[in-house]
Chain A
Amino acid sequence: APYASLTEIEHLVQNVCKSYRETCQLRLEELLRQRANLFSREEVSSYQRKSEWEMWERCAHRLTEAIQHVVEFAKRLSGFMELCQNDQIILLKAGAMEVVLVRMCRAYNADNHTVFFEGKYGGVELFRALGCGELIGSIFDFSHSLSALRLSEDEIALYTALVLINANRPGLQEKRKVEQLQCSLELAFHHHLCKTHRQGVLAQLPPKGRLRSLCSQHLEKLQVFQHLHPIVVQAAFPPLYKELFS
């Protein structure tokens, strides 16, 4: 591995945590502070009365904003910009949504099963107009199980770096180089967990297939929506969202 010495591993931990802090979109203190700020019954009804396409468009925009932060996270990760551009794109196309799903556990409140969305907290019912109750339920369940691990900000940083830098993504041109970076990040994550006596977390992280399955469900639902409302997707969805998913 290129990061062999302890000092280098510690530098990598610092780099990943700093990259994450600079690109986490919303600070944890702010998300915790907002927990009492719940959507009223009327506001929830107003979301539920929106048309399916309007709600899809809103969610596509919110998701795209989150993904832009993940792109910035990737760019700051030591070694990422040294990969060839094909591989940078392969890793982001496959991993950006997965990173957003992991990051979402910070915006989820397990006490009342709500998530921070457009300035307030709301439950699954807020997203009813999307017409994908099963997908939304699965995403909330995922956040619920991840939030039970009580991951620290640094643990989320290192975990999401490894979600992104995955040498098994199909289509990589310089697989060896990605493998080396992944190996360094694994060392960094393990080192940090040892240092903080949190090695137990490793066995409790969700299997990779769970994130993959959520992303596939999202793509399937988008396909159905795009079939029914091709003009909405074409005219109103963010270009980056279309580039990644449609």
Chain B
Amino acid sequence: QEKHRILHKLLQNGNS
């Protein structure tokens, strides 16, 4: 999961 930290963050953020 740490390897894809940014993608995780983008996926967890609501639609912006």
Instruction: List A residues at the B interface (Cβ < 8 Å).
Output: 68, 71-72, 75-76, 81, 85, 88-89, 92-93, 239-240, 243-244
Interface of A is mostly: helix
Instruction: List B residues at the A interface (Cβ < 8 Å).
Output: 3-8, 10-11, 15-16
Which residues of B have CB within 8 Å of A88? Answer: 11
Complex contact B7–A75 (CB within 8 A): no
Q: What is the CA–CA distance of A92 and B4 in the complex, to the nearest angstrom?
A: 11
Complex contact B15–A92 (CB within 8 A): no
10 shortest interchain CB distances as A-B pairs: A240-B6, A71-B10, A89-B4, A243-B6, A239-B6, A89-B7, A88-B11, A75-B15, A243-B4, A76-B15
Q: What is the CA–CA distance of A215 and B10 in the complex, to the nearest angstrom?
A: 22
A-B contact pairs, 29 of them (CB 8 A): A68-B10, A71-B7, A71-B10, A71-B11, A75-B11, A75-B15, A76-B15, A81-B11, A85-B8, A85-B11, A88-B11, A89-B4, A89-B7, A89-B8, A89-B11, A92-B7, A93-B4, A93-B7, A239-B5, A239-B6, A240-B6, A240-B7, A240-B10, A243-B3, A243-B4, A243-B5, A243-B6, A243-B7, A244-B7
Q: What is the CA–CA distance of A71 and B15 in the complex, to the nearest angstrom?
A: 10
Q: What is the CA–CA distance of A243 and B7 in the complex, to the nearest angstrom?
A: 8
Q: What is the CA–CA distance of A92 and B8 in the complex, to the nearest angstrom?
A: 11
Which residues of B have CB within 8 Å of A68? Answer: 10
Which residues of A have CB within 8 Å of B15? Answer: 72, 75-76
How close is B8's CB to chain A, nearest CB, in angstroms? 7
How close is B14's CB to chain A, nearest CB, in angstroms? 9
Q: What is the CA–CA distance of A92 and B10 in the complex, to the nearest angstrom?
A: 11
How close is A170's CB to chain B, nearest CB, in angstroms? 16
Which residues of B have CB within 8 Å of A243? Answer: 3-7
Which residues of A have CB within 8 Å of B7? Answer: 71, 89, 92-93, 240, 243-244
Q: What is the CA–CA distance of A76 and B16 in the complex, to the nearest angstrom?
A: 10
Q: What is the CA–CA distance of A85 and B4 in the complex, to the nearest angstrom?
A: 11
Closest to B6 in A: A240
Which residues of A have CB within 8 Å of B5? Answer: 239, 243
How close is B13's CB to chain A, nearest CB, in angstroms? 9
Q: What is the CA–CA distance of A59 and B5 in the complex, to the nearest angstrom?
A: 22
Which residues of A have CB within 8 Å of B11? Answer: 71, 75, 81, 85, 88-89
Which residues of B have CB within 8 Å of A239? Answer: 5-6
How close is B15's CB to chain A, nearest CB, in angstroms? 6
